[in-house]
Amino acid sequence: MPEAPESVYASVVARNPGEPEFHQAVREVLESIGPALARHPEYAKARIIERICEPERQIIFRVPWEDDHGRVRVNRGFRVEFNSALGPFKGGLRFHPSVYLGIVKFLGFEQIFKNALTGLPIGGGKGGADFDPKGRSDREVMRFCQSFMTELYRHIGEQTDVPAGDIGVGSREIGYLFGQYKRITNRYESGVLTGKGLSYGGAQVRTEATGYGAVFFAEEMLKQTGDSLDGKRVVVSGSGNVATYAIEKVHQLGGTVVACSDSDGYVLDEKGIDLELLRELKELRRARLDDYVRHVPHAVAVSGRTVWEVPCDLAIPCATQNEIGGAEAASLVAGGCVAVVEGANMPTTPEAVRILGRAGVRFAPGKAANAGGVAVSALEMQQNASRDSWTFVQSEQRLRETMRDIHARCWATAEEYGLPGDYVAGANINGFRRVAEAMLAHGLV
């Protein structure tokens, strides 16, 4: 790492102790932007790196609510408004017991560059709470969301900060949050939240966007070497929203997803994952994945082991951060994997990225490959502002074009800086450069 970014990283660690996910995200960016800093000394003079690594605003608040037994519960809510150089803060809300300030800052920092790569006028932010909606009734989730929005509403707006969903925050939660915002403010601002239901201002393809987008990016990567998804053997981690739509799009484009996973293990179906059955198990019955084999006798359920031990041509991690470590990367290499495309946020450790790189496995970082979700969110904002509604076909076409453009930006930037095929460097330099130029134009703010 060049000297200046190294000193910035040391300062970030010192100022943000006990936040390893945030440290990892910052280091990954700083390690690859050296060529841009060498070409643009004005960035160092204006202390752009230091300013990007420090959020514009960090909000932490109490969220009291009452469960169905009349007991008062208290959770902690967060919103980190990281950078608004390109537009209003934009990024999801995550409801999960693992959420703490470091996770939110890591996600918000990644969001800056992801949003910049889309080419759309949106800044970066993230939020959430250490609340677990699993096992809670609809009314408990509603009461929590109403309490959460009772504080959050004063910090967001169509021109200020536009949250969306993430892990634990789906259409149900967005509906409750929007209803409370409308009640408190006495305003119907469709664009204040994205991921809304289609009946009140949501966008077609928003639910599918992250999974579809990752596969569209993979398609572009393969095209670059004269290849395609047709006939490819694919492994996907996770079995939630991103994973299921990634599986759907892989199958539509001629590939076969032979394995997917949940927190207990994975299921292997050599004939291809039965998507309708998977959805029934996970979305309707909320069952464990090992129930799959009761309906598909030729499938195999494997407990307590990693899905990355399954040989494949293409791997799409869609579960959570740091799920692919050194051992898993070595397994992928041994199994013949030619490309890893991140559907989740930072699911691959730095050690794993190095192992994949040394083996010649193409690697697409999440800030580029999973930008489809926020891209369609921005298109939802655009439709809300114009009081318009696009068809599914229109929306999917815009998503595909956006992912094609993101791939082209990453590829061209890597080439420009003498790092051909390095998608990590291409994504980080392109996103950083766009944000840096806007920050220079705005002066010291």
Annotated ligand binding at 232? The verdict is no
Annotated ligand binding at 84? The verdict is no
233-236 and 89-95 as β-strands: parallel, antiparallel, unpaired?
unpaired
| Tokens 């759309």 sit on residue | 120
256-262 and 314-316 as β-strands: parallel, antiparallel, unpaired?
unpaired
Other Cβ atoms closer than 10 A to 100: 16
Question: Which residues, 6 or more positions from 399, have their beta carbon under 8 angstroms from its beta carbon?
Answer: 205, 209, 212, 213, 216, 372, 375, 376, 379
314 phi/psi in degrees, rounded to 5? -135, 135
Helix (H) or strand (E) holding 434: helix 423-442
Residue in 151, 169, 166, 163 with CA at minimum distance from that of residue 62: 151
Q: Which alpha helices (DSSP H) does 205-288 contain, by range? A: 209-224, 241-252, 275-279
* 110: amino acid identity, one letter: E
Q: Give, in order, the Cα–Cα distances in Å from 76 to each of 57, 65, 215.
A: 17, 11, 35
Edge to edge, the sheet with strand 339-341 lists 300-303, 265-268, 256-262, 233-236, 314-316, 339-341, 362-364
Helix (H) or strand (E) holding 64: strand 57-66
Annotated ligand binding at 360? The verdict is no
What span, in angstroms and rounded, lies between the C-alpha atoms of 366 and 113? 10
Told to judge if 126 belongs to the known catalytic residues of this protein, a careful annotator would answer yes
Q: Which of 126, 232, 249, 367 is catalytic?
A: 126
Distance of CA 91 to the CA centre of its chain: 9
Question: Which residues, 6 or more positions from 435, have their beta carbon under 8 angstroms from its beta carbon?
Answer: 52, 83, 85, 86, 112, 113, 116
What span, in angstroms and rounded, lies between the C-alpha atoms of 298 and 125? 45
Annotated ligand binding at 24? The verdict is no
| CA dihedral sign of residues 241, 245, 246, 251 | positive
Annotated ligand binding at 271? The verdict is no
Annotated ligand binding at 114? The verdict is yes
Residue in 379, 372, 401 with CA at minimum distance from that of residue 245: 372
What span, in angstroms and rounded, lies between the C-alpha atoms of 77 and 107? 15
Question: Which residues, 6 or more positions from 290, have their beta carbon under 8 angstroms from its beta carbon?
Answer: 264, 265, 267, 301, 303
Annotated ligand binding at 210? The verdict is yes
Q: Please say whether the beta carbons of 28 and 106 come within 8 A.
A: no
Instruction: Give the annotated binding-site residues.
Output: 90, 111, 114, 165, 210, 241, 377
**Annotated binding-site positions for substrate:** 90, 111, 114, 165, 377
List residues with catalytic annotation: 126
Residue ranges at the known binding site for NAD(+) = 210, 241
